């Protein structure tokens, strides 16, 4: 089939070829101009040092290849009336995508101060990598982009995320050969086993082999052609190879390959959608092999540059000082014959613009790259139908994430037609107790199924692959194109995507400041199977530090919630799913956990973010002697158990119990929009009483958040301190000094005058810890007094 279609695809006409080449030359000229020129953008006079930027910054090497793809995508979008988006993996080639969007007019529509004329061209050049200007990479500022061009490896996962549930969209994805060496990219090739040809759009990977990274050959570019072909077929693709350094020949070959690929995609989609074909298809892809820094200087200072790693950034580095470099630059720029490409007013001539599609079909203008314009509120009903009844705190138990699963099932159900909600996770949806979801949607799967399999579904919207990177990339792409989702992950292993979430937070921070970018749905994490309950695993699965990582980032974007029970989890999740432009981190357990708050109380508590649980304390309206604070489900249980012990053993002591759901409430108001004022903070925690804070994660985080508070010197925090292993739940808290007995001892140690008065109680607590220690080593289970504990006043 492919051979025939290949031959059937009509050759480019001479006019088409000329037009494509004109567009490509114009883009190359504009890319080089951005790197080098401060003024004289049209080379109307001979190039002089003062026309050159004082600091030459940017990445030329990848730009001609990206320009070539932009040019040719323009053509097929136009000829086929496609709805298309392109993800630019080698997005450090910012000059290229900026050039493309300036040429297609979308840039000037968004930034009218950079019009598509000579004046605009000068601004386009000057602003690039210039202080107060635009970044050197494809970034949120660039029209048509959903993919930051900094850290490499995520383009293909982003592309699939964009294609899911977008049946009419073509997502082209340029993958650099350097990027292809990264783990996340290598894993994401298998995304094609999760793409539904019926409900999803198509992804067209374009592997750009330009041979070199910053300083080394790229591995894939140095495989024998047959070996590379096997690899790509093994990834489930049917590759089309385009190789060359003669522009006309490459234009022809790429046009042919694109036509063939798009014909095949159309046929495959038709077969699945109309013909009911369910066999997994091998999607086409293109391998584009062109020289790095193609059309740039072939040699500089006697060393080869074009086609080598030396073309990676700025091929001619001494232009202002070195007349020969200046001469070479001028020759290079004039080699594009700018006088044929731009009128005297700097406007691109008709031939250059002939291939550019119209309106919102332009790559720089596609609404899919500004997903906030498409996003609709999720249909989330009243939480009351999912809430667990709580007549009395701490007497019934539920698995919080299982309760959340019912809510998510309903959302999945209610988006069945809209198909704009997905849940992703690395093989852990059921392990994380969210399996109710499968009642509303199976798990996406296009590979082989066996009779014994459960819940696999060619059209499913639950996505499970054992790659946190791929999960994260998919969800980011899905959200950035205007949809909703949730990533459920083991708490410890979410660190795998630390670096990815960094980039997404940076994207959101920047996008929020761009008036033309509409707010998108938040990236929601459910971190569960957390540090305190890793019975099957142990130390390797214990790390609560993602919260610390995220809280280093832009406060306008990050939110962290530690709901202490099922109903608070519902409330927090509801809030997160409705929110926009945030990264919401929700940490909640999957093991049975006491129900503390009724739905109404949970709503009110979560709205405040932190509050006094007066039913749990003993202060009776006066000033407390001590504050027991907690954040997280297990710490909350231990604090309440400690409060109960104190009530029994030291009934005169006025104890206040404070629970914190929203961690950013602890920050100063000036540092985070959710931060409490000092007045509020002191109202909760007092300005001068001892505060014993039991926290889910690393204890110093609380100090880092609260160090400016008046009462900070009285703050004593217990949390996880890397004392992890395979053991019982209660032994975990004992090992980390977060247990109820230790907390009571802390109270006794810190309330002035109590140490002497309560010495016997303190000893009793110490004895209980020893008893525990001995018991679990003998029986392998927690003490019955712990296992059977419930709250009572």
Within residues 462-501, the interface with its own copies by CB under 8 A covers 464-470, 492-493, 495-496, 498-499
Cβ burial of 389 (10 Å; 0-12, 13-18, 19+) is exposed
Q: Of 170 and 319, which CB lies nearer to its own copies in the complex structure?
A: 319
Per-position x/- string for 531-560, each x denoting binding to its own copies as judged by CB under 8 A, each - no binding: ----xxxxxxx-x-x--xx--xxx------
Of the candidate residues 5, 109, 117, 181, the single one contacting its own copies (CB under 8 A): 181
Q: Of 107 and 507, which CB lies nearer to its own copies in the complex structure?
A: 507
Q: Are 170 and 259 in contact (CB under 8 A)?
A: no
Cβ-Cβ contacts under 8 Å for 391 (sequence gap 6 or more): none
195 near its own copies (CB under 8 A): no
Q: Of 121 and 218, which CB lies nearer to its own copies in the complex structure?
A: 218
What is the rounded CA–CA span in Å between residue 316 and residue 330?
11
Of the candidate residues 25, 59, 264, 368, the single one contacting its own copies (CB under 8 A): 59
Beta carbon of residue 312, minimum distance to its own copies (angstroms, whole number): 9
307 near its own copies (CB under 8 A): yes
* Tokens at 303, concatenated: 């060393």
Of the candidate residues 184, 247, 442, 711, the single one contacting its own copies (CB under 8 A): 184
For 129-157, b/e burial (b = at least 16 CB within 10 A) is bbeeebbbbbbbbbbbbbbbbbbbbbbbb
186 near its own copies (CB under 8 A): yes
Q: Of 37 and 255, which CB lies nearer to its own copies in the complex structure?
A: 37
Strands (E), 484-564: 484-490, 523-528, 558-561
Helix, strand or coil, per DSSP, at residue 188 = helix
Helix, strand or coil, per DSSP, at residue 668 = strand
* Tokens at 456, concatenated: 């696999």
Beta carbon of residue 707, minimum distance to its own copies (angstroms, whole number): 5
Window 345-374: residues binding its own copies (CB under 8 A): none
235 near its own copies (CB under 8 A): yes
Window 85-104: residues binding its own copies (CB under 8 A): 92
Number of H helices and number of E strands within the chain?
A: 27, 22
Which helix (H) or strand (E) element contains residue 232? helix 225-234
Beta carbon of residue 88, minimum distance to its own copies (angstroms, whole number): 13
Q: Of 299 and 324, which CB lies nearer to its own copies in the complex structure?
A: 299
Cβ-Cβ contacts under 8 Å for 319 (sequence gap 6 or more): 36, 49, 52, 56, 325, 326, 329
Beta carbon of residue 536, minimum distance to its own copies (angstroms, whole number): 5
Q: Of 179 and 638, which CB lies nearer to its own copies in the complex structure?
A: 179
Q: Of 541 and 603, which CB lies nearer to its own copies in the complex structure?
A: 541
Beta carbon of residue 409, minimum distance to its own copies (angstroms, whole number): 17
What is the rounded CA–CA span in Å between residue 354 and residue 146?
26
Helix, strand or coil, per DSSP, at residue 694 = strand
Of the candidate residues 577, 728, 751, 791, the single one contacting its own copies (CB under 8 A): 728
Candidate segments 372-380, 397-405, 441-449, 749-757, binder of its own copies by CB under 8 A: 441-449
427 near its own copies (CB under 8 A): yes
**Residue of 103, 95, 96, 111 whose CA lies nearest to 74:** 103
770 near its own copies (CB under 8 A): no
Of the candidate residues 134, 255, 531, 593, the single one contacting its own copies (CB under 8 A): 134
49 near its own copies (CB under 8 A): no
Q: Are 497 and 469 in contact (CB under 8 A)?
A: yes
Window 500-519: residues binding its own copies (CB under 8 A): 502-503, 506, 509-510
What is the rounded CA–CA span in Å between residue 63 and residue 72?
14
Angle between helices 633-649 and 740-750 (to 10 degrees): 60
Beta carbon of residue 753, minimum distance to its own copies (angstroms, whole number): 23
Cβ burial of 177 (10 Å; 0-12, 13-18, 19+) is buried
Helix, strand or coil, per DSSP, at residue 87 = strand
Window 245-304: residues binding its own copies (CB under 8 A): 304
Beta carbon of residue 53, minimum distance to its own copies (angstroms, whole number): 6
243 near its own copies (CB under 8 A): no
Of the candidate residues 50, 453, 767, 785, the single one contacting its own copies (CB under 8 A): 453
Q: Of 549 and 580, which CB lies nearer to its own copies in the complex structure?
A: 549
Q: Of 193 and 458, which CB lies nearer to its own copies in the complex structure?
A: 193
Beta carbon of residue 778, minimum distance to its own copies (angstroms, whole number): 9
Beta carbon of residue 527, minimum distance to its own copies (angstroms, whole number): 13
Q: Of 375 and 465, which CB lies nearer to its own copies in the complex structure?
A: 465
Which residues, in sequence order, are bridge partners of residue 84? 170
Which helix (H) or strand (E) element contains residue 693? strand 691-695
57 near its own copies (CB under 8 A): yes
Q: Are 587 and 604 in contact (CB under 8 A)?
A: no
780 near its own copies (CB under 8 A): yes
Window 317-336: residues binding its own copies (CB under 8 A): none
Cβ burial of 615 (10 Å; 0-12, 13-18, 19+) is middle
Q: Of 539 and 615, which CB lies nearer to its own copies in the complex structure?
A: 539
2 near its own copies (CB under 8 A): no
Helix, strand or coil, per DSSP, at residue 627 = strand
Q: Are 199 and 114 in contact (CB under 8 A)?
A: no
Beta carbon of residue 484, minimum distance to its own copies (angstroms, whole number): 23
Q: How many residues bind its own copies (CB under 8 A)?
A: 126
Of the candidate residues 8, 15, 81, 219, the single one contacting its own copies (CB under 8 A): 219
Q: Are 28 and 247 in contact (CB under 8 A)?
A: no
Per-position x/- string for 687-726, each x denoting binding to its own copies as judged by CB under 8 A, each - no binding: -----------x-xx-xx--x----x---------x-xxx
Candidate segments 198-206, 220-228, 265-273, 585-593, binder of its own copies by CB under 8 A: 220-228
Beta carbon of residue 690, minimum distance to its own copies (angstroms, whole number): 15
Beta carbon of residue 443, minimum distance to its own copies (angstroms, whole number): 7
Tracing tokens 């100090």 back to the chain, one arrives at 703
**Residue of 183, 190, 185, 157 whose CA lies nearest to 171:** 157
What is the rounded CA–CA span in Å between residue 751 and residue 745?
10
Beta carbon of residue 479, minimum distance to its own copies (angstroms, whole number): 18
Q: Of 181 and 600, which CB lies nearer to its own copies in the complex structure?
A: 181
737: left (phi over 0), alpha (psi -120 to 50) or beta: left
Helix, strand or coil, per DSSP, at residue 353 = helix
Q: Of 464 and 633, which CB lies nearer to its own copies in the complex structure?
A: 464
What is the rounded CA–CA span in Å between residue 295 and residue 298?
8
Strands (E), 399-492: 421-425, 443-444, 456-457, 462-464, 484-490
Specify the pairing of strand 421-425 against strand 462-464: parallel
Q: Are 287 and 37 in contact (CB under 8 A)?
A: no
Beta carbon of residue 767, minimum distance to its own copies (angstroms, whole number): 19
Of the candidate residues 133, 167, 318, 592, the single one contacting its own copies (CB under 8 A): 133
Of the candidate residues 10, 54, 276, 515, the single one contacting its own copies (CB under 8 A): 54
Of the candidate residues 149, 161, 357, 442, the single one contacting its own copies (CB under 8 A): 149
Candidate segments 23-31, 268-276, 427-435, 579-587, binder of its own copies by CB under 8 A: 427-435
Candidate segments 173-181, 257-265, 335-343, 385-393, binder of its own copies by CB under 8 A: 173-181
Q: Of 413 and 554, which CB lies nearer to its own copies in the complex structure?
A: 554
């Amino acid at each position: 089939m492919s051979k025939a279609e290949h031959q059937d695809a009509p050759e480019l006409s001479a006019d088409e070829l000329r037009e494509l080449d004109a567009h490509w030359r114009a883009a190359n000229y504009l890319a080089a101009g951005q790197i080098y020129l401060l003024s004289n953008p049209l080379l109307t006079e001979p190039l002089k040092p003062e026309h050159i930027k004082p600091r030459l910054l940017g990445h030329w090497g990848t730009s001609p290849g990206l320009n070539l793809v932009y040019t040719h995508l323009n053509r097929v979008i136009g000829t086929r009336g496609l709805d298309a988006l392109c993800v630019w993996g080698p997005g450090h080639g910012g000059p290229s995508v900026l050039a493309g969007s300036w040429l297609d007019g979308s840039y000037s529509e968004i930034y009218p101060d950079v019009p598509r004329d000579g004046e605009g061209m000068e601004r386009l050049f000057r602003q690039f990598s210039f202080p107060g200007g635009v970044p050197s990479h494809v970034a949120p500022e660039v029209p048509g982009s959903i993919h930051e061009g900094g850290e490499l490896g995520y383009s293909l996962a982003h592309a699939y995320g964009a294609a899911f549930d977008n049946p009419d969209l073509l997502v082209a994805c340029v993958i650099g050969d350097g990027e292809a060496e990264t783990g996340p990219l290598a894993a994401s090739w298998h995304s094609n086993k999760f793409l539904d040809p019926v409900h999803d759009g198509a992804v067209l990977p374009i592997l750009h082999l330009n041979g070199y990274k910053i300083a080394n050959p790229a591995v894939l570019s140095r495989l024998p052609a047959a070996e590379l072909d096997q690899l790509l077929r093994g990834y489930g693709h049917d590759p089309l190879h385009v190789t060359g350094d003669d522009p006309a020949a490459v234009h022809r070959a790429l046009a042919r390959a694109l036509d063939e690929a798009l014909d095949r995609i159309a046929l495959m989609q038709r077969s699945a959608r109309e013909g009911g074909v369910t066999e997994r298809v091998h999607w086409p892809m293109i391998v584009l092999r062109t020289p790095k820094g193609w059309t740039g200087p072939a040699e500089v200072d006697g060393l080869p540059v074009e086609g080598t790693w030396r073309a990676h950034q700025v091929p001619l580095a001494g232009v202002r000082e070195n007349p020969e470099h200046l001469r070479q630059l001028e020759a290079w720029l004039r080699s594009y014959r700018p006088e044929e490409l731009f009128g005297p007013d700097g406007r691109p001539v008709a031939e250059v613009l002939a291939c550019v599609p119209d309106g919102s079909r332009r790559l720089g203008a596609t609404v899919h790259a500004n997903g906030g314009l498409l996003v609709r509120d999720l249909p989330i009903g009243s939480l009351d139908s999912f809430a667990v009844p709580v007549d009395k705190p701490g007497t019934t138990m539920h698995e919080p994430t299982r309760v959340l699963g019912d809510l998510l099932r309903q959302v999945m159900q209610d988006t069945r037609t809209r198909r704009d909600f997905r849940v992703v996770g690395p093989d852990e949806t059921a392990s994380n107790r969210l399996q109710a979801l499968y009642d509303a949607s199976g798990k996406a799967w296009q590979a082989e199924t066996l009779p014994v399999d459960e819940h696999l579904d060619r059209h499913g919207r639950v996505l499970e692959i054992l790659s946190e990177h791929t999960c994260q990339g998919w969800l980011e792409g899905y959200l950035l194109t205007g949809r909703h989702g949730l990533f459920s992950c083991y708490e410890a292993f979410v660190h795998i995507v630390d670096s990815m979430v960094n980039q997404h937070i940076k994207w959101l921070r920047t996008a929020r400041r761009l008036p033309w970018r509409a707010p998108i749905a938040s990236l929601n994490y459910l971190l569960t199977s957390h540090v305190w309950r890793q019975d099957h695993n142990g130390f390797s699965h214990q790390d609560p530090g993602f919260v610390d990582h995220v809280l280093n980032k832009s406060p306008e974007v990050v939110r962290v919630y530690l709901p202490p029970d099922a109903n608070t989890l519902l409330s927090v999740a509801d809030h997160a799913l409705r929110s926009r432009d945030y990264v919401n981190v929700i940490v909640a357990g999957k093991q049975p956990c006491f129900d503390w708050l009724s739905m109404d109380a949970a709503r009110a508590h979560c709205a405040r973010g932190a509050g006094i649980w007066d039913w749990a304390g003993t202060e009776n309206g006066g000033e407390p002697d001590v504050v027991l604070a907690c954040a997280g489900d297990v710490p909350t249980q231990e604090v309440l158990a400690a409060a109960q012990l104190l009530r029994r053993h030291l009934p005169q002591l006025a104890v206040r119990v404070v629970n914190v759901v929203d961690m950013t409430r602890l920050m100063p108001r000036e540092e985070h929009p959710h931060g409490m004022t000092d007045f509020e903070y002191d109202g909760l925690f007092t300005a001068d009483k001892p505060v014993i804070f039991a926290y889910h994660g690393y204890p110093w985080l609380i100090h880092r958040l609260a160090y400016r508070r008046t009462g900070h010197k009285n703050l004593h925090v217990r949390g996880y301190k890397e004392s992890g292993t395979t053991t019982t739940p209660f032994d975990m808290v004992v090992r980390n000094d977060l247990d109820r007995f230790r907390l009571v001892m802390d109270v006794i140690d810190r309330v002035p005058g109590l140490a002497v008065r309560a010495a016997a109680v303190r000893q009793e607590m110490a004895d209980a810890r020893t008893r525990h220690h001995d018991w679990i080593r003998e029986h392998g289970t927690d003490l019955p007094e712990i296992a059977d504990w419930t709250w009572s006043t």
